[in-house]
Copies of this chain bind each other. A is one copy, B any other.
Amino acid sequence: MIEKLRQLMKERDLFAYYIPSSDFHDSEYVGEHFKARKFLSGFTGSAGTLVVTQEEAGLWTDGRYFIQAEKELEGTGITLFKAGVEGVPKIEEYLAKVMPQNGKLGFDGRVVGVTTGKDLAKKLEEKNCEIVYNEDLVSIIWNDRPSLPTGQAFLLDEKYTGKSYTDKLSELRETLKDKKADSHILTTLDDIAWLYNLRGSDISHFPVVLAYTVITKDEAVLFLDETKLTDEIRAKLSQVTIKPYDDIYEYVKTLEGKVLLDPAKVNYAIYNNLQAEKIEEQNPTLLAKAKKNEVEVQNIRNCHLRDGVACTKFMYWLKNNIGKIEINELDAGAKMQELRKQQENYIEDSFSCISAYGENAAMMHYSATPENYKVLEPKNLYLLDSGGQYFDGTTDITRTIALGPVDSEIKRHYTAVARGMLNLSRAKFLHGVRGLNLDILARSPIWEMDIDYRSGTGHGIGFVLNVHEGPNGFRWKIVPERNDSCVLEVGMVTTNEPGIYIEGSHGIRIENELIVQNGEKNEYGQFLEFETVTFTPIDLDAIDPQYMNETEKQSLNNYHKAVFEKISPFLEPEEKEWLKTYTREI
């Protein structure tokens, strides 16, 4: 395959060709059609970039994948470049070195972000290299390339979204006016789905439709595969002009005036096809989408209640069957999915669950496969991180469950994680606070033990959308490219998931979701607080109260009281009895 690619490169006089792992929309997960780097290199990890010249082919990936990449690249002749390791050149440094004077670098500009494209162009400036961004060579050699998905789209009812797409469009146009923009190019799939109250099935776990949109003062143009729309949808989207998916690339050439776009999100091809003046800013829909309205918030409460019923039933099932029937990690994950499916409004899981037993739970990116899984035993801890897409919301919950007696060190760790989770949940703060101000509340019981969990404490989450959504989050370091450090606003939903991961031994994570709500407003300003919407017991079998102070015990007791009140009405008598014990006061 690499040889075929080299042939095509020669014909086009391209010195190097660049193949990343993205779709046209900078999506977090991409469909099979977009897995060109995997097709060409054989490397299956989620992150990696392939660069091919006539002399060499190199694959760049990060520390999560070094071992896997080495194995998968064996015999392919492709060199592994370990990104982030000292002495290993970055892609742009590598290219700046190997490219000849006036050489040409080719890529499909639809799968390369503006920032990356610009960085490459800048690095190659000195050698006066040319960037050829309209060459999709992979499609020529990939004969059985999976087609783009063709699943039907659907409109999310206003009883779920709380706001019509026409109102959202009006508000967006107001914002554009304030910013003196004549039009706006929006290419992120979750923003488009949110704006038009449109959902689909083009990416698994992520109910969006592959689409682009351009909003001008008097037109909203939606570029997508029209066969995905029923007549009913077309009728309801009467204020929207529908055009074929690919037409965006020619369309943007016709735009005049000032065009607002987010250079961190728009692809290089659209950006460079655009002749008009650019206003480069974060998509205004990002913040609007994150601040869930009251109808969305009520729906989120509703779907979390059903999700909590499924999770509590799962916990009951696991606690009562471990040691009696054989259960492996795959079985347990499947059981959770089955219980979720039984709930009203269920669409699909919101991500591929992490079902991890014992030391497997210490690997933060672990996923059990039919080739590689563990059987659960009536000892140590089992961690399940899972979630659902419902018509009335998206959930993400982690519970770590003791499958039998656990030793005192594990209890101390488990109790610290629970304390951190509860301490952040009961934060009260003035408007203006960001996640980076609050992260310490969850992390300090763990830092106190000279342990860290090496990740943020939580991420924003969409409404019937992506399970990872900015710009809110809990993280003590500012990481600009993550864009998750915004000021917390009413209606924002964020996960709260501290953890402890001890290699070769055990992993603990306890995750609830929190919604920002108004507290008192007085001379000092507007106070805010969190509403917890996740209701499933925190396993008391792994809690040691001696490590908790009264405030923390009271928090846990209050939480468990709420779990019982909310969840027990939906349980069978024996489950209810069990829940009573597992939500008892300590």
A interface residues (Cβ-Cβ under 8 A, vs B): 427-430, 432-433, 436-441, 444, 447-448, 450-452, 454, 476-477, 519-520, 522, 524-525, 527, 549-552
Q: Which residues of B contact A448 (CB under 8 A)?
A: 428
A430–B444 Cα distance when bound, in Å, is: 10
Q: Is the CB of B427 within 8 A of A444?
A: yes
Choice from B427, B452, B524 contacting A430 with Cβ under 8 Å: B452
Would A520 and B450 be within 8 Å (CB), given that A437-B439, A437-B440, A439-B437 are in contact? yes
Q: Is the CB of A452 within 8 A of B524?
A: yes
A259–B535 Cα distance when bound, in Å, is: 61
Q: Which residues of B contact A551 (CB under 8 A)?
A: 549
Would A432 and B527 be within 8 Å (CB), given that A427-B444, A450-B520 are in contact? no
Choice from B427, B440, B450, B476 contacting A527 with Cβ under 8 Å: B450
A129–B437 Cα distance when bound, in Å, is: 45
Q: Which residues of B contact A476 (CB under 8 A)?
A: 432-433, 437
Q: Give chain B nearest CB distance to A319 CB in angstroms.
A: 31
A345–B205 Cα distance when bound, in Å, is: 70
Minimum CB distance partner of A449 in chain B: B428
Q: Which residues of B contact A552 (CB under 8 A)?
A: 549
Q: Give chain B nearest CB distance to A480 CB in angstroms.
A: 14
A444–B438 Cα distance when bound, in Å, is: 10
Q: Give chain B nearest CB distance to A1 CB in angstroms.
A: 40
Would A428 and B444 be within 8 Å (CB), given that A476-B433, A549-B549 are in contact? yes
Q: Is the CB of B527 within 8 A of A447?
A: yes
A427–B439 Cα distance when bound, in Å, is: 13
Q: Give chain B nearest CB distance to A42 CB in angstroms.
A: 32
Choice from B430, B444, B450 contacting A447 with Cβ under 8 Å: B430
Would A451 and B524 be within 8 Å (CB), given that A437-B437, A440-B429 are in contact? yes
Minimum CB distance partner of A520 in chain B: B450
Given A433-B476, A437-B437, A447-B527, 12 more pairs with CB closer than 8 A: A427-B440, A430-B447, A433-B440, A437-B439, A437-B440, A437-B476, A438-B440, A440-B441, A450-B522, A452-B524, A549-B549, A549-B550
Minimum CB distance partner of A429 in chain B: B447
Q: Give chain B nearest CB distance to A448 CB in angstroms.
A: 5
Q: Is the CB of A525 within 8 A of B439?
A: no
Q: Give chain B nearest CB distance to A412 CB in angstroms.
A: 15
A44–B451 Cα distance when bound, in Å, is: 53
Q: Is the CB of B524 within 8 A of A477?
A: no
Minimum CB distance partner of A551 in chain B: B549
Q: Give chain B nearest CB distance to A435 CB in angstroms.
A: 10
Max chain B Cβ within 10 angstroms of own Cβ: one of A427, A432, A444: A444
A444–B436 Cα distance when bound, in Å, is: 14
Minimum CB distance partner of A519 in chain B: B450
A430–B524 Cα distance when bound, in Å, is: 31
Q: Give chain B nearest CB distance to A74 CB in angstroms.
A: 30
Q: Give chain B nearest CB distance to A451 CB in angstroms.
A: 6
Q: Which residues of B contact A429 (CB under 8 A)?
A: 440, 444, 447
A444–B529 Cα distance when bound, in Å, is: 12
A454–B519 Cα distance when bound, in Å, is: 18
Minimum CB distance partner of A430 in chain B: B452
Q: Which residues of B contact A477 (CB under 8 A)?
A: 432
A451–B428 Cα distance when bound, in Å, is: 11
A193–B563 Cα distance when bound, in Å, is: 62
Would A452 and B525 be within 8 Å (CB), given that A440-B440, A444-B441 are in contact? yes
A431–B571 Cα distance when bound, in Å, is: 47
Q: Which residues of B contact A451 (CB under 8 A)?
A: 524
A436–B440 Cα distance when bound, in Å, is: 10
A-B contact pairs, 20 of them (CB 8 A): A427-B440, A427-B444, A428-B447, A428-B448, A428-B450, A429-B440, A429-B444, A429-B447, A436-B436, A436-B437, A437-B439, A437-B476, A440-B441, A447-B527, A450-B519, A452-B524, A452-B525, A549-B549, A549-B551, A550-B550
Q: Which residues of B contact A438 (CB under 8 A)?
A: 440
Choice from B433, B439, B450, B524 contacting A524 with Cβ under 8 Å: B450
Max chain B Cβ within 10 angstroms of own Cβ: one of A430, A440, A448: A440
Minimum CB distance partner of A528 in chain B: B447
Q: Give chain B nearest CB distance to A449 CB in angstroms.
A: 9
A252–B432 Cα distance when bound, in Å, is: 44
Max chain B Cβ within 10 angstroms of own Cβ: one of A427, A450, A522: A450
A84–B439 Cα distance when bound, in Å, is: 32
Minimum CB distance partner of A437 in chain B: B476
7 nearest A-B pairs in the assembled complex, by CB-CB distance: A452-B524, A549-B549, A450-B520, A549-B551, A549-B550, A437-B476, A428-B447
Q: Which residues of B contact A522 (CB under 8 A)?
A: 450
Q: Which residues of B contact A441 (CB under 8 A)?
A: 440, 444
